[in-house]
Chains A and B, each alone.
Chain A
Amino acid sequence: MSEYAIEMRHITLSFARKIANDDVTLQLRKGEVHALLGENGAGKSTLMNVLFGLYKADSGEIYVNGKKEVIDNAVTANKLGIGMVHQHFKLVHNFSILENIVLGVEETKFGILKLSDARKRVQELCDKYQFNLDLDAKIEDVTVGMQQRTEILKMLYRNNDIMIFDEPTAVLTPQEIQEFMTIVKNLKAEGKSILFISHKLDEIKEVADRCSILRKGKLIKTVDVASVSKEEMSEMMVGRKVNLKVDKAPAKIGEKVLEVRHMTIAGEKGHKDKVSNVSFTVRAGEIVCIAGIDGNGQSELIKGITGIKKIKSGTIVIDGKDYTNKSIRFKNTHGISHIPEDRHRDGLILDYDMQKNMVLQEYFEDKFSKNGFLNEKNINEYTTKLIDEYDIRSLSGPYSKVRDMSGGNQQKIIIAREMTKEHKLMIAVQPTRGLDVGAIEYIHKNIVKLRDKGIGVLLVSFELEEVMNLADRILVMFEGEIVGEFVDIKNLDLNELGLYMAGGKRMTEEEMIKMYQEVA
């Protein structure tokens, strides 16, 4: 028997003169966790699509357990014991967890669905891996972490020994990431071979044995993770030295640009308030970061400030003026720029072309319209200018449909739009979600540039590294309240921050008043 669960030899695949995979050889040992590292567009997904039979390679061979195989569709891959968890889960939302797991391999008796055996087996698997799942819960009602576990159970239920995870942690909260790491370790202990696509170096360090690095479609190197540093890996990935730390000068703090006083936002009927009695300020020239575990009211707080959610009580003052009851449009055009948390849902109209998205908040203004007609010439010039300035890549320039663009470039449209618009306050919610190291570095630099220009930045992030890198001041949110403030970022005790985030510790009333007065 071969020592490799999967061996892809000399895979080459090109699309119309562009080479996506160039002579890539990837070897997944049995029982190892193998990371596949590379920037967006380095060819990771293409390689996996070849393995899964979705693309056909121009040349190269695939061996599974030492035997040469031709995989031309996902069914064959499944038969060979290969399972994959896609970045966007393939689950039926109004089916229960159990129904999703058996979907496609259901057992029937006289043509009628028979779930009892399946339930027993799935329950055993759940117990074995300590998955705490309610098998009858509908997918749409459970957390993203639980959905991912459902996907993992799907593979286990089909006896897949080779598991591929495509950026599994991109959508998870820090806690869920930790739980996921434990699951991966358990799977490995059970003898499963795991291929793990990621561009997060910390995770690779923690869980992977070996790591293959792809760049521009070529395999750069396969390394033992234990023997290389994070810096070395990122250098191999990007092809140059990457600054994981953001350089920034001390903040030059100016006037208050945002003042939130005693804001409360109601929860759904019968639930407690999502945000309760929150007060804080953001001053010109500083980056204030709201840290906390996802779902502790950060989203609602931002929606309250921008006007998307109604607030129950409290006031919002921007640049000295009361904005509490102003419309969203007024806020958009009078001082607030906003990078929303979900670019597809909130920030872009995917079926509009790039230039229409570029003026999404300003299309009605004099420079972009006249007597109710869009001024396409100006819109086009403006977009072309920003494409240059922000290096946004697409096939048809201003006319590219945004849906056809890559995630990083879609985010760049939002960044370009929001940064160019006249504003005093920048609200950024998870601005680097799902992006690769190069793009993250770029966005971080731009945020710091804004700060140095004297703009107040309010940043919400669930990535501790990002928080530590960018923040001049950290506010911790827990269950809808601000429970802690950290000013001395350099000497910050991470454990202490974690305690605040998990609700183990909170400021006293006096400290809170003091914090408020100091800033005011």
Chain B
Amino acid sequence: MNKKKDLTPFISSIAAILCGLVFGFIILCISNPSEAIAGFGTILTGSITHGMKGIGEVLYYATPLILCGLSVGFAFKTGLFNIGGSGQFLMGAFGGVLIGLTCKQLGPVQWIVGLLFATLLGALWGAIPGILKAYFNVNEVISCIMLNYISLFFVNMTIKGNKLLFNNLRNESADIPKSATIPKLGLDKIFADISIKGGKEVISSSSVNSGIVIAIIVAILLYIILEKTTFGYELKACGLNKVASRYAGINENRSIVLSMVIAGAIAGLAGGIMLLSGTGRHIEIKDVIPAEGFNGISVALLGVSNPIGIIFSGLFIAYLYAGGFYLQLFHFSKEIIDIIIAIIIYFSAFALIIKMLLSKFSKKPPERELIEVQKALHDAEVRDKNNKEEGA
């Protein structure tokens, strides 16, 4: 009677990754056969072969991917589709910029306040579709998409209209002063290339910072909330069966709103971290919704919405992106990485089919059938025993 670990989601994710890589290789072969094998090798190993700095870059790329993946995955677990991650991310980024540029007097806690404000704005942006869904039965997908655009134009308008925030020359938000960036905890020095030039040690550090630590802590926190607390029990119950949850006395409207608030907060936090990490990232004033929220959907799918799984799927996708960067050395365009990742996501959506195929090949009867048979056999034993006793 031991707790059984269901490995199927894990296996299907791995299968999806393999399929994606095979297709990626085929595409490489088509576009440039002579360098396909070398190029493929770069995708797989590019990030490591470029030293510790490469790994640092992977961690840096992974931070927003993991956080946005957590945002989408958490909402998935509770039965909601948070397609508004991008809007929430942008609001968070805006919150970070606002505090980072205007609140110098906060001193050493400026970055903390910045992140908190980013989280708050993201939560607010999540709460709106949550409330609309819970109390007015508005589909969260539609309200989320509309809020993505609202946030985009709101942020553009506010930054452009405020001299403190706007860098007129580059048409983007102004540089965040170093004092407002989040600490690097020495991570950039650990993950760095060290070379010796002219008898002097030259350190070329990577962009990694404490954001990755925050992302992992958030993932673990979410895991604990979902699996160990009564709050998570309620949220998941509502996601799995709304009617039965209502019968059990769970307030499902409250659950919907809270779940969206949390999802929005995480995406907002991701935005804040990206803008305050001091790596030259700015909010550009253009009419394009940031991709992070949508990438989060891929990460969540590949990680089957499990917070711990999302850490790994986020790292993996970041690893591929980083490798793809070096693909250009072989005269490939780095967009090929996007295609490969898209294929992987496509196949992870096929998880169900793969699962079905697996069970068909093993020709295992459904568990239910077995129980019925067991039950019948058990009944028979008991009855035979009873009959014997009666006979005696």
**What residues of chain A have their CB less than 8 Å away from a CB belonging to chain B?**
15-16, 18-20, 39-43, 46, 55, 215-217, 239-240, 306, 308, 327-333, 338, 340, 345-352, 356, 360-361, 363-364, 369, 372-374, 393-399, 404-406, 409, 438
How many Å lie between the Cα of A19 and that of B253 in the bound state? 48
How many Å lie between the Cα of A19 and that of B374 in the bound state? 9
Interface pair A374/B371, CB less than 8 Å apart: no
Interface pair A349/B244, CB less than 8 Å apart: yes
Give 13 A-B contacts (CB < 8 Å), ordered by A residue: A20-B373, A55-B365, A239-B383, A329-B248, A332-B248, A349-B240, A351-B240, A394-B371, A395-B371, A399-B1, A404-B371, A409-B375, A438-B379
Tally of contacts, chain A with chain B, CB under 8 A: 134
**What residues of chain B have their CB less than 8 Å away from a CB belonging to chain A?**
1-4, 228-231, 233, 236-237, 240-241, 243-250, 364-380, 383, 386-387
Interface pair B230/A363, CB less than 8 Å apart: yes
Excluding A393-B371, A395-B371, 18 further A-B contacts by CB distance (< 8 Å) are A15-B370, A16-B364, A16-B365, A41-B372, A240-B383, A327-B249, A329-B249, A332-B249, A333-B249, A349-B237, A349-B245, A351-B241, A352-B237, A360-B244, A369-B230, A393-B375, A393-B378, A399-B4
How many Å lie between the Cα of A372 and that of B247 in the bound state? 21
How many Å lie between the Cα of A217 and that of B370 in the bound state? 12
Residue of B nearest to A342 (CB): B243
Residues of B contacting A393 in the complex (Cβ-Cβ under 8 angstroms): 371, 374-375, 378
Residues of B contacting A338 in the complex (Cβ-Cβ under 8 angstroms): 247
Known: A20-B369, A360-B248. A399 touches B243 (CB 8 A): no
How many Å lie between the Cα of A436 and that of B228 in the bound state? 37
Residue of B nearest to A404 (CB): B367
Residue of B nearest to A56 (CB): B363
Residues of A contacting B247 in the complex (Cβ-Cβ under 8 angstroms): 306, 308, 328, 338, 340, 346-347
Minimum CB–CB distance from A102 to chain B (whole Å) comes to 27
Minimum CB–CB distance from A380 to chain B (whole Å) comes to 10
Interface pair B375/A406, CB less than 8 Å apart: yes
Residues of B contacting A405 in the complex (Cβ-Cβ under 8 angstroms): 368, 371
Residue of B nearest to A330 (CB): B249
How many Å lie between the Cα of A43 and that of B373 in the bound state? 8
Interface pair A216/B370, CB less than 8 Å apart: no
Interface pair B230/A373, CB less than 8 Å apart: yes
Residues of B contacting A16 in the complex (Cβ-Cβ under 8 angstroms): 364-365, 370
Interface pair B240/A347, CB less than 8 Å apart: no
How many Å lie between the Cα of A45 and that of B370 in the bound state? 13
Interface pair B376/A39, CB less than 8 Å apart: yes
Minimum CB–CB distance from A272 to chain B (whole Å) comes to 25
Minimum CB–CB distance from B228 to chain A (whole Å) comes to 5
Minimum CB–CB distance from A227 to chain B (whole Å) comes to 25
Interface pair B4/A373, CB less than 8 Å apart: no
Residue among B4, B229, B249, B369 with max Cβ neighbours from chain A (10 Å): B249
Residues of A contacting B374 in the complex (Cβ-Cβ under 8 angstroms): 18, 393, 395
Residue among B2, B377, B379 with max Cβ neighbours from chain A (10 Å): B379
Residues of A contacting B370 in the complex (Cβ-Cβ under 8 angstroms): 15-16, 18, 395
How many Å lie between the Cα of A360 and that of B231 in the bound state? 13
Interface pair B386/A346, CB less than 8 Å apart: no
Interface pair B367/A395, CB less than 8 Å apart: yes
Residues of B contacting A399 in the complex (Cβ-Cβ under 8 angstroms): 1-4
Residue among B241, B375, B376 with max Cβ neighbours from chain A (10 Å): B376
Which 5 interchain pairs have the tightest Cβ spacing?
Answer: A329-B249, A41-B372, A397-B1, A18-B373, A15-B365
Of B228, B367, B380, B387, which one neighbours A374 at CB under 8 angstroms?
Answer: B228
Interface pair B230/A372, CB less than 8 Å apart: yes
Residues of B contacting A348 in the complex (Cβ-Cβ under 8 angstroms): 241, 244
Interface pair A217/B373, CB less than 8 Å apart: yes
Of A240, A306, A346, A396, which one neighbours B4 at CB under 8 angstroms?
Answer: A396
Residue of A nearest to B238 (CB): A349
Known: A18-B370, A406-B371. A346 touches B244 (CB 8 A): yes
Interface pair B376/A42, CB less than 8 Å apart: yes
Minimum CB–CB distance from A382 to chain B (whole Å) comes to 15
Minimum CB–CB distance from A332 to chain B (whole Å) comes to 5
Residue of A nearest to B3 (CB): A399
How many Å lie between the Cα of A18 and that of B4 in the bound state? 21
Of A15, A349, A356, A363, which one neighbours B369 at CB under 8 angstroms?
Answer: A15
Known: A239-B383, A327-B249, A404-B367. A41 touches B375 (CB 8 A): yes
Residue of A nearest to B225 (CB): A372
Interface pair B249/A328, CB less than 8 Å apart: yes
Residue of A nearest to B6 (CB): A401
